[in-house]
Amino acid sequence: MLRFAPIVLSWMVITANASPVSDLASAARAQIGVTILYDSSYQRIAYPGGDVPLDRGVCTDVVIRAYRTIGIDLQKLVHEDMRQAWNAYPHPAKWGLKSTDTNIDHRRVPNLATFFRRHGTSIGVTGRPADFRPGDIVTWQIQPSLPHIGIVSDQVSAAGTPLVIHNIGYGATLDDILFAFPITGHYRYPSASTGTPR
């Protein structure tokens, strides 16, 4: 299990300048101390609006819960988009999928990345901290078979790097990991042109 020291001391971070606090970043930050476990087990959940217990989850659950807090149900949106554009989404053999599954589809990083590419704004991947705004979605490839996803916060490190809210193995935390792994995607959703879906 990969571990990072959670950033909890106020003197270790400063508030990002020239960028209002994103509702999405605030919704993600509210999960810190609430979601305290990493649990990747398959669970049957309600649809729409389904969720696993709030004290646990995976990296995608941080994103799903933050969006749901601001009125966007990614479970429903991803499911509907997959039904309409099945071949646009990845289907690794290890998943064993022949149709959509509302219990898990939205909880997989490749599916969320595909949805954000299709319906949000894809931002060119750079190593410049200034290119990342609060509420941006970032995906990484931690290991060849381990993708990851998180939300850019409204705080930065002492070096000026935006901190990320994510769950990498021990619950929702705020960490300086933006450039720790190869970035595979950088998204803003909803985009200015599409407005906010419901």
pLDDT tens for residues 21-70?
479 999 999 999 999 999 999 999 999 999 999 999 999 999 999 999 99
- The model carries a pTM of 0.88
The CATH number corresponding to 10-188 among 3.90.1720.10, 3.40.50.410, 3.40.190.10, 3.40.50.300 equals 3.90.1720.10
CA distance 108 to 147: 9
- DSSP string covering 114-131: HHHHHHSEEPPP-S-GGG
How many CB atoms are closer than 10 A to CB 24? Answer: 25
Cβ proximity of 179 and 131 under 8 Å: no
In one letter, which amino acid is 135? G
pLDDT tens for 128-169 read: 999 999 999 999 999 999 999 999 999 999 999 999 999 999
How many CB atoms are closer than 10 A to CB 48? Answer: 14
DSSP 140: E
